[in-house]
Amino acid sequence: MLTEAELPDPVPGPGEVLIDVAAAGVNRADVLQRQGQYPPPAGAPAWPGLECSGVIGAVGPGVDGWAVGDRVAALLDGGGYAERVTTRASTLLRLPDHYDLVDAAALPEAVCTAWSNLVTAGNLRAGDVALIHGGSGGVGTTAIQLALARGARVAATAGGPDRVARCLDLGAQIGIDHRSEDFVEALLAATEGR
């Protein structure tokens, strides 16, 4: 159960910024933390919130490229369910002026996860085939869009026809219902054995 509490405002340390929070995302880890099944990392606030959006309210020593008033979204160690939170400047995503701050709160976890898996680790390039498991979930829907933006052909698995349809609506060219199909066989058939 969440409760409201008054705490002192956090102060950004070296390499950190203070964010005046506009909105916080809700992740599975946040839900598990509320249920007592996911302890926050050492040094993180005791309350949930792995991602948020808002406006930088203060900049700590040694932070370059960020200023008070910048619109941001951030991936956090925790504590995003607050009016203010501090985080490392390296976790920030700059937001365009036209982008809604409430919508932006849902970006960091999904975008960072999809990017790190597809681009950083997977070296995804135009013309590649990207297989995205769980394509109808938060990270999966983001991964489909990211892979398409990079020029890949996208195959997505999901559980059930409605979820497969969601993946296809997002642009996946190959939709596989993992509940009724063997995804390896389906993928090989759709890619001529590639």
Instruction: Tell me the per-residue pLDDT of 69-80, one tens digit each, with 9 for 90 and over.
Output: 999 999 999 999
Q: Could you give the count of Cα atoms lying within 13 Å of 17 in the half-sphere of its Cβ?
A: 29
Residue type, 116: S
Predicted local distance difference test score (pLDDT) of residue 194: 82
pLDDT averaged over every residue in the chain: 95
Predicted local distance difference test score (pLDDT) of residue 114: 96
Q: Is pLDDT at 149 greater than 90 in this prediction? A: yes
Predicted local distance difference test score (pLDDT) of residue 30: 87
Predicted local distance difference test score (pLDDT) of residue 29: 86
Contact 50, 21 (CB under 8 A): no
Instruction: Tell me the per-residue pLDDT of 106-136, one tens digit each, with 9 for 90 and over.
Output: 999 999 999 999 999 999 999 999 999 999 9
Which pLDDT band, with edges at 50, 70 and 90, does 55 fall under?
A: very high
CA distances from 62 to 13, 27, 44, 85, 92 (A): 9, 30, 21, 18, 15
